[in-house]
Amino acid sequence: MTGFAVQVRDLTVRYGSTVALDNVSFDLRPGVITGLLGRNGSGKTTFLSVAAAFRRATSGAVLVDGEDPWENARVMGGTCLVRESGDVLLDEPITENLGFLEQRRPTFDRTAAETLLEVLEIDPSKRPDKLSRGQRSAFGVVVGVATRAPLTLLDEVHLGMDAPARYAFYDALLADWIEHPRTIVLSSHLIGEVERLLEDVVILDHGQVLAADDAATLREQGLTVTGPADAVDTFVAGRRVVARQALGRTAQATVIGSVPDDGARARAAGLELGAVGLQDLFVHLTGHPAADDTARADTLTPQESR
Amino acid sequence: MTTATPAVPSPGPTTTGPGYLVGQVWPTARWLLRAAIYLAVWFWGLAVVAVTIATVVVAVVSEPTVSILAFARQGAIWFPFAVFIAVSTAYFSVHVATGLTRRSFALGAIVTAAVTALVYGGAFSVLLLVERAVYGAVGWEWRFFDDLSAGAGPGTFIPASLLTYLVAYLSGLLVGMAYQRGGGFAGTVTLPLTAGPILLVSALFSADTGPIATESWFGGRGLSVPIAVAAALLVAAAMAVAFDRLARGAAVPVRTT
């Protein structure tokens, strides 16, 4: 199993007068963990809902494994969308929920689910509606990982989970994906935490695609410059600085865009260059400072990066 | 991965084995029926206890002249009706989220409503016959007197109960789905269409009693049972089709904790 590919073409979804997704097009590669990043209201959940046949598009198309997912038994059966709230039997014990999933999902691995429940310290005799928010989210993670659907969509499933639980989730997800490769889309605000898992990234903003590329290419859209504060400031003068940190006399600045002699200039100035962090890039791309219309107007687009 | 690229030819399906549940209707119905029968056992168990106590009390005070169990008929209509509203609202999201189609949800729920009507109707009929036998053994007069025609016998109350239950349970599904699809306002406005058929079918079988005496509708004569049965079946079929159509186009609502 390598997972389902997803093709999104001119997808528009409206809720009354609100446009949640506005004519977006991108692809998700099969067998890859893709990060779906975006601010609140950017259209992430709407896209995931259409891909999982939870709702219909207003216009355009989403093809999952080459087919329209709506009422498509094969595609729906191979797709698992886990939302923060969890679509489980709230008033049945978790053990009953596992049996329920086992009957409906041929790819569901009950042993994996029980192991993960143990790792995440969830009592399987409890009902989901009796769990704390974090535990309920963790149970959603268990469902998402153990279902092993060819297309696994995890929508902000980490919300409410404490740091140890989140890191256990990331480790379990990665280990399971290595053993059972499939397409995973991970929607999250905690970009710094999930960055290491992501091979591809799609950034949505106000219903439009700001970037859709592999993470390495996106990181090459900018660079971090670290070294003596004065030298850093000189190096980045006149360039677009999207983040700056200082500790004593040492500073690190994140700039968008690069010029051919950056490496030589940095070496000459005793500076270290590094790849830009996805989080900085995300903040830069999705930031809308009211007084910074000029900066907004020349925000990098994915097309610019190629 | 690219953005805004022209549509590429479909790579075609990659799953070779049945990576999804084949034949989804029966597993859906089986799951829903398990819950419905569990609730039915509780309902009729409590009804038997309550009716027994009521019968003893009435027998001590005076002498029973009508079936007391007959009054459980309303409970057997409205309790599962509420349960089927929950099937349309709460279970629907879970069903689709586990990768099953709306079609299997709709058909499984309709099968469940029909079998549940048989279970409730069967239990009700058997218990009425037992009650009648007890009354006969003790020497009391037994008459079925709820909102059916006064003095109706098994030939009326068995089909009347079965069909009223069927329509009520389908109505529960329809009411829930109407609220799911249209929200609070549309769900409420359409209640005469979604829940009204329960009263209509009750009226078809109750010519001369209750708030809706249909004798006046038919020139002083009630409908014959076969005609009432046929009309009730048509109503049930229309409701099942309406529910199926609504369910197949329903979006899974966004839910927050």
- CB atoms B251 and A76 under 8 Å: no
Contacts 24+ apart (CB under 8 A), B46-49: B47/B72, B47/B75, B47/B76, B47/B127, B48/B127
Number of domains chain B is built from: 1
- CB atoms B13 and A150 under 8 Å: no
Decide: residue B134, CB within 10 A, 0-12 exposed, 13-18 middle, 19+ buried: middle
- Name the residue in chain B with its Cα closest to that of A23: B4
- Whether A19 has a pLDDT exceeding 90, the answer reads yes
Q: What percent of chain A has pLDDT over 70?
A: 93
- CB atoms A49 and B251 under 8 Å: yes
- Whether A72 has a pLDDT exceeding 70, the answer reads yes
> Where is pLDDT greater, at A240 or A114?
A114
Same domain for A174 and A62: yes
- CB atoms A77 and B19 under 8 Å: yes
- CB contact, 8 Å: A79 with chain B? yes
* Per-residue confidence (pLDDT) for residue B41, from 0 to 100: 97
Residue finishing a domain among A213, A233, A254: A213
pTM of the shown model = 0.85
Query: What is the predicted ipTM?
Result: 0.85
- Name the residue in chain A with its Cα closest to that of B13: A65
Which of B75, B97, B100 minimizes the C-alpha distance to B22? Answer: B100
Structure tokens at A217: 């290419």
Residues of chain B with pLDDT under 50: 2-16, 211, 256-257
Q: What CA–CA distance (Å, rounded) separates B190 from B197?
A: 12
| Distance from the A38 Cα atom to the nearest Cα atom in chain B, whole angstroms | 16
- 3 state SS for chain A: CCCCCEEEEEEEEEECCEEEEEEEEEEECCCCEEEEEECCCCCHHHHHHHHCCCCCCCEEEEEECCECCCCCHHHHHCEEEECCCCCCCCCCCHHHHHHHHHHHCCCCCHHHHHHHHHHCCCCCCCCHHHCCHHHHHHHHHHHHHHHCCCEEEEECCCCCCCHHHHHHHHHHHHHHHHHCCCEEEEECCCHHHHHHHCCEEEEEECCEEEEEEEHHHHHCCEEEEEEEHHHHHHHHCCCEEEEEEEECCEEEEEEECCCCCHHHHHHHHCCEEEECCHHHHHHHHHCCCCCCHHHHHCCCCHHHHC
Q: Which among A5, A77, A104 has the least Cβ separation from residue B11?
A: A5
**Owning domain of residue B129:** 38-248
**Owning domain of residue A258:** 221-305
Residue finishing a domain among A213, A232, A259: A213
Q: Which among A72, A104, A133 has the least Cβ separation from residue B257?
A: A133
- CB atoms A9 and B7 under 8 Å: yes
| Distance from the A213 Cα atom to the nearest Cα atom in chain B, whole angstroms | 5
* Per-residue confidence (pLDDT) for residue B4, from 0 to 100: 44
Same domain for A206 and A227: no
Which of B177, B170, B146, B153 minimizes the C-alpha distance to B238? Answer: B170
* Per-residue confidence (pLDDT) for residue A14, from 0 to 100: 95
Query: Which CATH number fits the domain that encloses residue A162?
Result: 3.40.50.300
- CB contact, 8 Å: A110 with chain B? no
Same domain for A201 and A227: no
- CB atoms A105 and B99 under 8 Å: yes
Evaluate whether residue A1 is within a structural domain.
Answer: no
Confidence at A117, pLDDT banded by 50, 70, 90: very high
Identify the three-state secondary structure at position B152.
strand
Which positions 258-297 of A are in contact with B (Cβ < 8 Å)? none
